[in-house]
Amino acid sequence: MASQTNKYWVVGVLLSAAMTGCKVPKVTQIQENKQVPQQFAEALAQDTTNSANMKWRDFFSDPNLVALIDTALKNNQELNVTLQELAIAKNDILLRKGALKPSVGLRAGGGVEKVGRYTSQGAGDASTEIAPGKEMPDPLGDLKIGAYASWEIDVWKKLKDSEQAALNRYLATVEGKNFVLSSLIAEVARSYYELLALDNQLTIIKQNIELQDNALEVIKLQKQAARVTELAVQKFQAEVLKTKGMEFETRQQIKETENRINFLLGRFPQEIKRDKSSFVDMVPAKVQTGIPSQLLSNRPDIREAEYELAAAKLDVQIARKEFYPSLEISAALGLQAFKPSYLFKMPESMLYNIIGELAAPLLNKNGLKAEFNTANSKQIQAVYNYEKAILNAYLEVSTQLSNIENLGKSYDFKTKEVEVLNNSVTVSDDLFKSARADYMEVLMTQRDVLDSKLELIETKKQQLNAVVNIYKDLGGGWK
């Protein structure tokens, strides 16, 4: 009767310990805000047509640019690094999935043991006969071969949650790869347009050098005729030298831009194939923005943050379930004997066992609490990161819409400015030759023409880049 009472007491202690282990901290609940404005205030038309759904091959019409992007997608080192991160995340899923299944293995081993004669085991072996008249050998050998298995029963779905968290992180890595794709395509396009702009600026600088050289010759003739002083000659000479210096600065910028493109393409320096004459005539593509809510599905960085948030929520649940009791079953089946000749003697050499173990944390749970608190804080961070990604996406599109509109108006005015200044060059030359204007007016007019033409090219580049940026900001390029 006393023995039966002791059994019940032991069971009661175990259940009490298990229940004590089930007291877990609460999860901080923060509901993420997915709300975005119903429309972009800067957009002229409001419908669901969205340029982000266009494939990049259809969005970019320049065949040279398409070829460069193709090469970048094959060779870019950053993209290749991201693809390896994708493989790592995929392997983590297999690791978590494996934890749900029993672990089974084979084990074989041998050894020898000599115990003291005046010990309980030594005395017992000495008085034991393995056969009539045959004592236990001393020292005693031990040979063993068998299979063993262990399995943690996923009572609380902790292991399943861990697998799902790994899957969410894999999907987040996929979206991260898509974001790298989108960013890479946009960076190649922006660098390509910058290169074309520099080519055209170099052409303008060369033309201006020729114009200034001609003006310098006129000034020298005027000096010989005593109509101007040496100061005028020196002023024009300095202007020519300044513009020639700009030529080599621009050549260096072209080289740096070419090398930047080659780096994005994962290759050593070589000339970038391009049509230098088509830049001025390029018309920025018309972009359809759709509605803001489409950003949630089109932007890879938002989708990445969403999957990271889902994984972080599961991490909190996993850390919480660490406080619950765990149930593990282990088993073994094999053969064991002290001599090889007895190893396969059945059933005497057979061994087997099966053990069920219930374990729950009882004291000193600071480690589990720290793990839970860390997971809880990371979940809160993930909420804020998700909301930040949504806000950032909307503001980026809004900024680029405004940028496109203002650059269009600026380009129109700068085009008219260049036309007026081109005419003023001829007028200033004529006035100077007829002694109705001084050399400084000619000099300043030529300088203004050069500056305005360079600014016009810069504005054209900014227009093209603004279209590239909004295509990326809408979530285009990775599909």
DSSP per position, 203-231: HHHHHHHHHHHHHHHHHHHHHHTTSS-HH
86: enclosing H helix or E strand: helix 77-98
**3-state DSSP assignment of residue 149:** strand
> Bridge partners of 134?
131
Mean per-residue pLDDT, 273-298? 92
pLDDT at res. 2: 45
259: enclosing H helix or E strand: helix 230-264
CB 235 within 8 A of CB 440: yes
pLDDT at res. 308: 97
pLDDT at res. 140: 79
> Bridge partners of 160?
none
Most confident option among 182-191, 343-352, 365-374:
182-191
Residue 390 has pLDDT above 50, yes or no: yes
Listed by start position, the domains of the chain span 26-100+163-323+378-474
Residue 150 has pLDDT above 70, yes or no: yes
Mean per-residue pLDDT, 103-125? 85
Residue 363 has pLDDT above 80, yes or no: no
| Closest-CA residue to 269 (of 280, 278, 256) | 256
Mean per-residue pLDDT, 35-49? 81
CA distance 435 to 225: 12
Most confident option among 191-205, 218-232, 340-354:
191-205
Residue 204 has pLDDT above 50, yes or no: yes
| Strand locations in 154-258 (E) | none
pLDDT at res. 424: 83
Q: At what angle do helices 158-224 and 77-98 cross, to 10 degrees?
A: 170
Which residues make Cβ contacts (< 8 Å) with residue 379, sequence separation at least 6?
A: 27, 28, 30, 309, 312, 313, 315, 316
**3-state DSSP assignment of residue 453:** helix
Q: pLDDT tens for residues 72-82?
A: 999 999 999 99
CA distance 43 to 53: 17
Q: What's the mean pLDDT when you consider all of the chain?
A: 88
Q: What values do phi and psi take at 154, rounded to 5?
A: -80, 70
Maximum C-alpha span of the chain: 141
Mean per-residue pLDDT, 384-406? 96
pLDDT at res. 297: 95
pLDDT at res. 12: 46
pLDDT at res. 1: 46
pLDDT at res. 9: 43
Which residues make Cβ contacts (< 8 Å) with residue 321, sequence separation at least 6?
A: 24, 156, 157, 158, 161
pLDDT at res. 44: 64
Per-residue b/e over 88-111, b at no fewer than 16 CB within 10 Å? ebeebbeebeeeeeeeeeeeeeee
CB 162 within 8 A of CB 311: no
Residue 138 has pLDDT above 80, yes or no: no
Mean per-residue pLDDT, 394-398? 96
Of the candidate ranges 31-35, 79-83, 418-422, 460-464, the one whose mean pLDDT is the lowest: 31-35
User: Can you say how many angstroms the Cα of residue 378 is from the centroid of all Cα atoms in its chain?
Assistant: 18
Q: Which fold has domain 26-100+163-323+378-474?
A: Outer membrane efflux proteins (OEP) (1.20.1600)
Dihedral, 10, 15, 20, 23 alpha carbons, nearest 10: 170
Q: 340 preceded by cis ω (within 30°)? A: no
Residue 405 has pLDDT above 60, yes or no: yes
Q: At what angle do helices 158-224 and 230-264 cross, to 10 degrees?
A: 160
pLDDT at res. 45: 65
CB 387 within 8 A of CB 285: no
CA distance 54 to 60: 10
Mean per-residue pLDDT, 379-405? 96
Residue 403 has pLDDT above 80, yes or no: yes
Q: Which long-range contacts (CB under 8 A, 24 or more apart) does 244-249 make?
A: 244/209, 246/205, 247/202, 247/205, 247/206, 247/209
- CB atoms near residue 428 (< 10 Å): 23
| Closest-CA residue to 195 (of 68, 75, 284, 70) | 68
Which residues make Cβ contacts (< 8 Å) with residue 49, sequence separation at least 6?
A: 288, 290
Amino acid at 465: N
216 vs 380, higher pLDDT:
380
Mean per-residue pLDDT, 340-366? 86
Residue 250 has pLDDT above 70, yes or no: yes
Q: pLDDT tens for residues 447-466?
A: 888 999 999 999 999 999 99
Residue 386 has pLDDT above 90, yes or no: yes
- CB atoms near residue 238 (< 10 Å): 11
| Closest-CA residue to 106 (of 328, 333, 330, 329) | 333
440 vs 377, higher pLDDT:
377
pLDDT at res. 457: 96
Mean per-residue pLDDT, 393-406? 96
pLDDT at res. 10: 45
